[in-house]
Amino acid sequence: MSLDKSRELYQKARNLLPGGVSSPVRAIKPYPFYTRSANGSKITDIDGNEYIDFCLAYGPNILGHAHPQVKEAINSQLEKGWLYGTPTEAEVDLADRIAGMYPSIDMLRFVSTGTEATMSALRAARGFTGKNKFIKIEGGFHGAHDAVLVKAGSGATTLGKPDSLGIPEDFTKHTLQVPFNDIEALTDMIEKYSDDLAAFILEPVMGNIGPVLPEEGYLKEVRKVTEENDVVLIFDEVITGFRLAMGGAQEYYGVTPDMTTLGKIVGGGMPIGVFGGKKEIIEMVAPSGSVYQAGTFSGSPTSVAAGLAVLDVLEKENVHKKLDETGNKVRSALTDIVSDLNLDYTVSGISSMFKIFFGDKPLDYQDVLKCDKEGYVKFFYKMLDSGIFIPPSQFETNFLSTAHTEEDIEKVLEAYRTNLR
């Protein structure tokens, strides 16, 4: 497999783009492959190597790449112009459909990324409650804005320290953290800071360290304790929304938060974010209320058109049932492989998300940190050599799409068996 063109391009790119990339996770060492095109389940680099893609842009492409119906929707929007700076009928339609599927969403605002969605959701929750602090989960990822870029601290009582240069500690002093799957830590934290606590934000299934699943009953307990203490519960469903079910993890687990953030899938591969929730909270957002939020590209017509097309396909083709079945098949085959090879590894996942942890079953971030991260990276390169593109990190989820064929699945399982050995 030659990667000459990618290597050459990287030499140029790294002088122009930090790390040669536009987002850190893409910076595969010693250099990433640069993509020429992608279609269905396949992604092709500029040297002409083709990989079966289980990364799928880190989540959005649940129908695979360049799905014809989504492409058609985007093309037909392009004919009519692609940015107006005015409201459109299509955005009202998409809002109506989302609100109909997510029990927590009466009203919503469209934004352009998941980062913007969580940033604005937290602002709205703070505006609504008049309080400053919020709790997040250690290792939970909510995009790259100041308040949420706080690493797993040295314990549940530590106040947030920024995870990046350029963020004043003052900006994260209201960010509190608890471990996932630990209702006691959450209850204690809420009690301790209830005077000034606006919200609790979490990924109902932790997608950015794994996936790590909620333990039986955890989300219901979370709902109960936040409700009793008037803490706004925000589900960050940027990954799980339209992935676990049309109504996301809240439908899947039957737990309704006060607010929800969406992104990734709902833009059909075009940039999008959504934050929504109870009417009394979202009505606080400008111009109907005094929580300011705005964006040139918000409700972008191409993103909305692509989003409507994705929802059509997901609904009509009963996609989640099929993906659940494929996911179960893959996870059970991987479990067999791990056991055949006598490895102390753990197969994790739900619906169309799957992953092998190189270690014991994790319940939270600290557990995931104990996995063999270097071993995982070596494994990643072997998979790439076998023509399989999985995310290059122990902390990212593999995704299945409707575009993966039975042959793709057989190939990936074969590659897992060979390369794990």
Q: C-beta of 140: minimal distance to ligand PLP in Å?
A: 8
Q: Give least dist CB 167 to ligand PLP, A.
A: 17
Residue placing its CB nearer to ligand PLP in the complex, 20 or 241: 241
Stretch that binds ligand PLP, among 5-13, 110-118, 285-293, 409-417 (CB under 6 A): 110-118
Sheet containing 259-263: give its strands across: 107-111, 273-277, 259-263, 232-236, 197-202, 133-137, 175-178
Number of chain residues interacting with ligand PLP (CB under 6 A): 15
The single residue among 263, 268, 301, 359 that binds ligand PLP, judged by CB under 6 A, is 263
Report residue 409 CA to chain centroid gap: 23
- Is residue 366 within a helix (H) or strand (E), and if so which, with residue range? helix 365-369
In angstroms, what is the minimal distance from the CB of 390 to ligand PLP?
A: 17
**130-149 binders of ligand PLP (CB under 6 A):** 141-143
| In the complex, minimum distance from the CB of residue 397 to ligand PLP, in angstroms, rounded to a whole number | 9
Q: Fill in the amino acid letter for 333.
A: A
Long-range contacts of 165-174, Cβ-Cβ distance < 8 Å, separation of 24 or more: 171/146, 171/147, 172/146, 172/147, 174/132, 174/133, 174/134, 174/147
With beta carbons less than 8 A apart as the criterion, state whether 117 and 111 touch.
yes
Assess 281 for contact with ligand PLP (CB under 6 A): no
Closer to ligand PLP by CB, 62 or 238: give it.
238
The CB-of-58 to ligand PLP minimum distance in angstroms stands at: 6
Number of other residues whose CB lies within 10 A of the CB of residue 182: 18
Q: Please, which residue, 337 or 390, has the CB nearer to ligand PLP?
A: 390
Task: By CB under 6 A, tell whether 113 contacts ligand PLP.
Answer: yes
Q: Which residue is nearest to ligand PLP (CB)?
A: 114
State in angstroms the smallest separation of the CB of 181 from ligand PLP.
17
**Binding of ligand PLP at residue 114 (CB under 6 A)?**
yes
d(CA 34, CA 322): 31
Closest approach, Cβ 112 to ligand PLP, in A, equals 8
Helix (H) or strand (E) holding 109: strand 107-111
Q: What is the largest CA-CA distance in the chain?
A: 60
Q: Which of 41, 49, 61, 118 binds ligand PLP (CB under 6 A)?
A: 118
By the 8 A CB rule, do 153 and 382 touch?
A: no
User: In angstroms, what CA-CA distances link 353 with 222, 264, 320, 347, 400?
Assistant: 23, 14, 12, 11, 6
Would you say 49 or 118 has its CB closer to ligand PLP?
A: 118
**N-to-C CA span, the chain:** 21
Verify binding: residue 239, ligand PLP, rule CB under 6 A: yes
Crossing angle for the helix pair 68-79 and 301-316, nearest 10 degrees? Answer: 150
Residue 381 has a CB neighbour count (10 Å cut-off) of: 13
> Taking CB under 6 A as the criterion, which residues in 353-372 touch ligand PLP?
none
- Shortest Cβ 208–ligand PLP spacing (Å): 5
The answer to whether 115 contacts ligand PLP (rule: CB under 6 A) is yes
Asked if 203 interacts with ligand PLP (CB under 6 A), we say yes
* Least distance CB 345 / ligand PLP (angstroms): 24
Closest to ligand PLP by CB, 3 or 136: 136
Q: Is 201 in the site for ligand PLP (CB under 6 A)?
A: no
Say what angle helices 183-193 and 218-228 make with each other, to 10 degrees.
10
Taking residues 207 to 226 in sequence order and writing x for each that binds ligand PLP by CB under 6 A, - otherwise, the string is xx------------------
Hey, which residues does 350 pair with through a beta bridge?
353
Which DSSP string corresponds to 9-78? HHHHHTTTSGGGSSSGGG--SS-PPPEEEEEBTEEEETT--EEEESSGGGTT-TT-BT-HHHHHHHHHHH
Binding positions for ligand PLP, rule: CB under 6 A? 113-115, 118, 141-143, 203, 207-208, 236, 238-239, 263, 273
